[in-house]
Amino acid sequence: MANSFHIHPTNAPEVARKRYRLKIVDVSYDRFAGRMEAAMKDRPRVRAAERAMERYLALPGTELMTEKAFVTNAFLLLDLFKELMRENAAPAFTIRGCMGTILPIAKTTPCLTLGVMNDEGVMAFCESDFVIIPAGILLHYISGKPVFLHNSTFPHDGVVTAAHCSAPRRLNGERYEPAKIMTHYESEYGAAPKVEMPVGQQVTFIDPEYATGRWLGFTGIVKSNPLYEVCRSQQDVQIQGDWEKLRSEVRDSHWMMAYGNHLRELAYAARKIGINWIDLSQA
């Protein structure tokens, strides 16, 4: 189905269905566009989104660096995404075409929307990447916290840079981290949070290989929140473990991150579901 939620150009969705027994429900953009158009004409619904926008921007440590209309539309999108989840009794959500197809429909980007969903305890992921989504689901349930789907770089001098435009802010499950609400990086449009993670915070990474079921895990320590010419939320993280081995073991372009050290629990769960688990922090 062209231009739809929950479809990936590889066979990763089929692997997710068979190996991890995920039930994937498709909702086409053709169906969704009508809902969004109607919502934008529904004055009570728009006013509710405007109030949600004002409450969000009033959170301590929040700095607006984009247009308020983009943030309002992000909360209107939030309402519709949650509506779809209720209709399908879905515990998790993902969207394809989030860097293009959705923009003229929603008149914003879904980056902030997905971050807020995770802040509220819902699993919400961009790009419908079913290579990484099973790992994100597992890490979410093990950590009990929001997880961050992000792009990665090759490790250099023991450091990896993690970056994406849809980061949650309540990564410890309670407080909101400081954030600048900017545009989405590639499009320079919409609303996307640049979340500032505490320097010294320990995090757990999963770097999966979906076809063979071989997943790498390791921990790291946040060193800084730079402002490189990459996706908005970005962290330089000092790798705890064999970073030179990681350099030759990097898998998909997307990894999962969560606050804390969850390697022992992940190793136990991986054995139970038939994953070949490699702990680089114990190497």
> What fold is seen in the domain 12-279?
L-fucose Isomerase; Chain A, domain 3 (3.20.14)
Mean pLDDT by 10 residues, the chain (283 residues): 39 88 94 96 98 98 98 98 96 91 95 98 94 95 97 90 96 97 94 98 92 89 96 96 82 88 97 92 76
Q: Are 153 and 102 in contact (CB under 8 A)?
A: no
- How far is CA 278 from each of CA 43, 88, 210, 243, 275, rounded to the nearest angstrom? 52, 35, 14, 13, 9
pLDDT value, residue 3: 37
- Per domain, the residue ranges of the chain are 12-279
Nearest to 182 by CA among 55, 57, 49, 36: 57
pLDDT value, residue 210:
75
Whole-angstrom distance, CA of residue 92 vs CA of residue 79: 15
Residue 95 bridge partners (DSSP): 126
Give the separation between CA 75 and CA 112, rounded to whole angstroms.
8
Tens-digit pLDDT profile for residues 202-220? 999 999 987 778 899 999 9
CB 174 within 8 Å of CB 182: no
Q: Can you give the pTM of this predicted structure?
A: 0.93
Residues 75-88 pLDDT 10s:
999 999 999 999 99
Q: What is the pLDDT of residue 245?
A: 85
- Residue 52: what pLDDT? 98
Q: For the CA atoms of 221, 225, 227, 231, what is the dihedral angle to 10 degrees?
A: 70
